[in-house]
Amino acid sequence: MTKQVFLPDDIPAVGKKILEEAGLEVVVGSGRDHEKMKAEGVEASAVLIGTQKFDADIMDAMPNLKVIARNGVGYDAVDVDAATQRGIYVVNTPKALSGSVAETAVSELLAISKNLYQDSKAIHDDNWNYRKAHPGRDIEGKTVGILGFGRIGQQVAKKLSGFDVKVIAFDPFAKDVPGVELVDRETIFKTADYVMVHLPALPETQHSIGADEFKLMKNDAFLINMARGSILVESDLVLALKSGEIAGAALDVFEEEPLPVTNPLVALENVLLTPHIASNTVETKARMAVDATNDIVRVLSGKNPESAVNK
């Protein structure tokens, strides 16, 4: 019987072609609604998902399931233990997106520092002179602190190498990289003008950046989070941004996604908010689709996947 691959969200054609050429049936669903995914994916041997929750309940609704492929690197929304207990592989695409996420991180660092969003909005609001009371800041000569120096953190350092900044990083598992000084965690918060969060979402990192860390930061420092919203205490961040404890924040990820428009962050001027788009580019989406579908084909043809996070 032809095996089925369920895609709750559509993926680039290059990925679907890999599945079809391997003789698999591709079923594109109608989005991320939990109950709909359960119904639409009932026959699936493989599923290729975004950042939506994928728990034991949904796994049990898909009795043929052999592999859950994450179109991306973070797998915090997947119940990996439940998958392992059911003999289901969880795979991801860590190699496909580091450069893209790093580009977005550096873009957001520059945009919040130069006030680009508010300045652009001012033009739309017919307020050319907004700029007078809101000068931006140069990054030249400043210190950028990277928290989490894995693939993405290292790409950020590489991309920043032409900007005349001092780069420091904290990561207990990191090896020396030329041009980057490895420091302790506290030094990042105390000395960096830009604190960039590139940590994985783990029980140890959950809510690990809150009031204490914002107090350590300089009043004119910025926070940039491209990792996961759950790593911050978001309510503490709102207080730090309102009180001037820190100068601003650029955030691509939130505790609740989609971010409700009623969230207090939305009312602040000293933020740049983007809807989890760090890897959402034409090129990277294609690369992730290729890596994820190749691993699906491997598993469904009895081979070992290249990027398993369990088993």
Q: What is the set of active-site residues?
A: 228, 257, 276
Residue 308 Cβ, how far from ligand DGY at the closest point, in Å? 16
Query: What does the alpha-carbon distance between residue 15 and residue 200 come to, in Å, rounded to a whole number?
Result: 26
The β-bridge relationship of strands 248-251 and 180-182 is unpaired
Rounded Cα distance, 42 and 87, in Å: 17
Residue 156 engages ligand DGY in binding (rule: CB under 6 A): no
Q: Cβ distance 228 to 203 under 8 Å?
A: no
Q: Which two tokens stand for residue 164?
A: 């005349």
Question: By C-alpha distance, which of 51, 54, 49 is closest to 78?
Answer: 54
Shortest spacing between CB 279 and ligand DGY, in angstroms: 5
Beta-bridged to residue 7, according to DSSP, are: 28
CB closer to ligand DGY, 240 vs 272:
272
Query: How far, in Å, CA of 200 to CA of 173, rounded?
Result: 13
| Closest separation in Å from C-beta 11 to ligand DGY | 13
Ranked by CB distance to ligand DGY, the top (closest) residue is 72
Q: Are 68 and 8 in contact (CB under 8 A)?
A: no
For ligand DGY, the closer of residues 8 and 72 by Cβ is 72
Region 34-73 residues binding ligand DGY, contact defined as CB under 6 A: 51, 72-73
In the list 32, 52, 74, 310, the residue contacting ligand DGY (rule: CB under 6 A) is 74
C-beta atoms surrounding 191 within 10 Å:
17
Return the residue of 46, 97, 180, 297 that touches ligand DGY, per CB under 6 A: 97
| DSSP-derived 3-state class of residue 86 | coil
C-alpha angle 218-193-256 in degrees, rounded to nearest 5 = 85
Q: How far is the CB of 97 from ligand DGY (least distance, A)?
A: 6
Q: How many CB atoms are closer than 10 A to CB 117? A: 17
Q: Which is nearer to ligand DGY, 51 or 115 (CB)?
A: 51
Question: Does the protein bind ligand DGY through residue 152 (CB under 6 A)?
Answer: no
Give min distance, CB of 51 to ligand DGY, in A.
5
232 binds ligand DGY (CB under 6 A): no
Contacts of 199 (CB under 8 A, 6+ apart): 147, 148, 205, 208, 227, 228, 231
Of 73 and 224, which has the nearer Cβ to ligand DGY? 73
One character per residue 175-214, x = contact with ligand DGY (rule: CB under 6 A):
----------------------------------------
Task: Annotate each residue in 277-306 with x if it binds ligand DGY (CB under 6 A) or - if it does not, as one string.
Answer: --x---------------------------
| Pairwise CA distance, residues 18 & 26, whole Å | 10
Question: Can residue 105 be called a binding residue for ligand DGY (CB under 6 A)?
Answer: no
Quote the least distance from Cβ 118 to ligand DGY, whole Å. 25
Burial of 24 (0-12, 13-18, 19+ CB in 10 A): buried
274 lines the binding site for ligand DGY (CB under 6 A): no
Task: Catalog residues that contact ligand DGY under the rule CB under 6 A.
Answer: 51, 72-74, 97, 279
